[in-house]
Amino acid sequence: MNELTILRNLAKSVRNQNIFSTAKEISSIRLFHNVVDLSLLQQIYLSYLYFYHNIYTDIHLNKIKENVLKDEIYEDSYMEFKKRNEGNEDKDTPKKNKSLHIVFRKRKKKNE
């Protein structure tokens, strides 16, 4: 088993998914000892945590069956399909609330 597969399996584990979900809600629970300067391993791990979070959500919503988790090829293919499909949906669906984009900070004009 190579590093990437081990990393994926770690991100896929229910225990780590729970920690990930909790850490998103409670800031005092951290995934890593360091807060900044993530290593390459940590970045990849984080992206797989999101990746499997998406898959688990779709399983939970009964969009797909749990057997998708049996194989990395199934997982990647489903996510690729989902990504393309959602991209198309976005294109086809007019953005009704385009004006609702949140403006976080307005730049002050000079001499204002």
Partner 1 sequence: MENEIMKEDRAKEILDKIKENIDMSNLEEMIKNNFISWKYNDSEYRVRLLNRIDKDELYILLVKKLNSLLVDIEIKKESELKQIYKEKRNIDFDEIDKQIRKLQNERLSVQLKLGQAISEKVEESGLAEYRRQIEEISESIIKINIQKENLLAHSLEKILEAYELEAKTWLALDKKTDGEWKRMFNTFEEFRSFEDDVLITKAAHYNLLIQIK
Q: For residue 95, what are its two tokens?
A: 């953005």
Choose between 1 and 103: whose C-beta lies nearer to partner 1. 1
Q: What angle do CA 89, 94, 97 make, to 5 degrees?
A: 120
Which of 22, 47, 60, 63 is the binder for partner 1 (CB under 8 A)? 63
Q: Are 35 and 29 in contact (CB under 8 A)?
A: no
Contact between 33 and partner 1 by CB under 8 A: the answer reads yes
**Which residue, 52 or 109, is less far from partner 1 as judged by CB?**
52
CA 18 – CA 8 distance, rounded (Å): 15
Does residue 84 sit in helix, strand or coil?
A: helix
Contact 45, 10 (CB under 8 A): yes
Tell me how far, at minimum, the Cβ of 84 lies from partner 1, in Å.
6
Binding-site residue total for partner 1 (CB under 8 A)? 35
Residues that bind partner 1 (CB under 8 A): 1-3, 6-7, 10, 32-34, 37-43, 45, 63-65, 67-68, 70-71, 73-74, 76-82, 84-85
